[in-house]
Each structure stands twice: as C-alpha cells, then as structure tokens.
Amino acid sequence: MYKRVIIKVGTNVLTRPDGRLDVTNISHLVDQIAGLKARGISLVLISSGAVGAGRELLTVDDSFGDVARRQVLSAIGQVRLMELYRQLFAGHDLLCAQVLATKGDFRAGLHYDNLHNCFRALLQDQIVPVVNENDVIAVTELMFTDNDELAGQVAKMLAVDALVILSSVDGLYDGPPGESGSHLIREVAAGDQSVLGFVQEKKTSFGRGGMATKLRIAAQTAKAGIPVLLGNGRRRNILTGLGRDQWPGTIVK
C-alpha cells in the first residue's frame, strides 16, 4: 500500500472538449482524493487547468502574443480553479493550499529548501496541497516542459512511494489507442527504450505534453526508485484501487 503519493491531473481530465472546466469530473476526482486522505494516505495534487479556466472566463485579444495570452489566462484562471477546489474539498472537511512553482525553484539553494519546507508543513491530515506551474512568471528557461515534469520533481523532492499521472488515455498502447488490435502495455521497465517506438505523436487537444513526455519523466522518476502509474483520469474510481495489485493502466518501474 502506498502511503505517500503525488497525483498529477492533466488538462484534458479537467476540461470538456470545448475547453471549459468539467466540474463533474473534477468533483469526482476530489471525492476520490478525499477517500485516500481518509485512509491515511499523504498526498500532493499537481493540477493543470488554470489556462483552461481562464479561457472560460475571458477571450484574450489576438494582439497579445502567445506568452502574454498564457500569462493573462493563467492569472485569471488560477483563481477560478482554486476556488472550485476550495469549495469541493470543503465538502469533505478538507482545506486546500495553493503552491505555484517554477523550474528555478528546484535548483539547489534557498528556493529549493524553502519549497521543501513548505511542503513538509502542508502535509497535514486536513490539507491538500494543490500545485501548478506559475505560468504568470514562468517563461523561456523558467518553464517546465509541462506539469508532468513538475510532478516528477515534486515526487523526487518528497521521496514519495508513487507518482500517479492521470490523462485522458489508459496508458501506453502498442498501437493507436482505441484502434482494433492495439493493446495496453501494463508494465514498462524504467530503462526500456524500445517502448518509445509505440508512442503516438498526436497530443490531446489542450495539454502541452504528450505520451513521449510522460514516458521520459516516468523513466527518470522510476530510476530514482519511485514507480509511476499512468492512467485515465476519466475512468470512474480509478484512484480507489491505488496500491492494490491491479492498476488499470501502465506502471513504469
């Protein structure tokens, strides 16, 4: 049984096809996370979705560049996203705490120590730390590839028992997901480069990363002794069986 986990939830789990927040699915995820907390599992939630939430509230003029547009949408959307989490977790008598980070915070030094100490203080029974990249100031060299990379860094910082990465697919397939003849690969060794040949180039609609990024981060994290569980965040009750023998996705270890 895993006692300390990082759960990363991607944009396409949190939003509908039109890019607006999928409140129903977010609520279901919060219910599952609250259930894990009730079982005594210590966890951190890495949540995308700020830009999507901002897109729901505001149409940014085309005169803005891509970086400025992302900054504006994330600044507005992060407030909306955290308010939703606050309300949903409050229904389970839990508090949520916002933690925004950049790549520079994980370089050795004072920022790293401060962030580490912050997480340690927040990992109390009634608190769920909700982490996202600080898109308002994270540009160029300060940017993570996506929140998968951020999740891997937090997992290693806290030396957790497992990292769970939830997207809109069940895991790694040996062919195009959803097509006849494609099979889910249940387990991947951290050093197995051959599986990269199965990765499809297509990304989901609103996310920044893709399966190639997930496998790269999963391999790096698994080599540090932390298994990575890839799964479908839209599968009902996917987190309920966390730590049991059969994970309904791909495990990299």
Render pLDDT for 56-105 as a digit per residue (tens, 0 to 9): 898 887 777 888 888 899 899 999 999 999 999 999 999 999 999 998 89
Q: Which pLDDT value is given to residue 202?
A: 54
Cβ(41)–Cβ(190) under 8 Å?
Answer: no
- Looking at residue 142, its pLDDT comes to 61
pLDDT at 138: 66
Residue set of the binding site for ATP: 8
* Mean of pLDDT over the chain: 89
* Binding-site annotation, residues: 8, 48, 135, 147
| Residue numbers belonging to the annotated binding site for substrate | 48, 135, 147
| pLDDT at position 217 | 94
pLDDT per position as a tens digit, 211-222: 888 999 999 999
Report pTM. Answer: 0.92
- What percent of the chain shows pLDDT beyond 70? 93
Contact 132, 46 (CB under 8 A): yes
In whole angstroms, what is the distance from residue 146 CA to residue 198 CA? 21
CATH 3.40.1160.10 for the 4-252 domain, yes or no = yes
Q: Where are the domains of the chain?
A: 4-252
For 55, 57, 58, 131, 239, the CA distances from 61, given in Å and listed in that order, are: 12, 13, 9, 28, 39
Residue 231 pairs in a beta bridge with: 166
The stretch 123-139 carries a mean pLDDT of 87
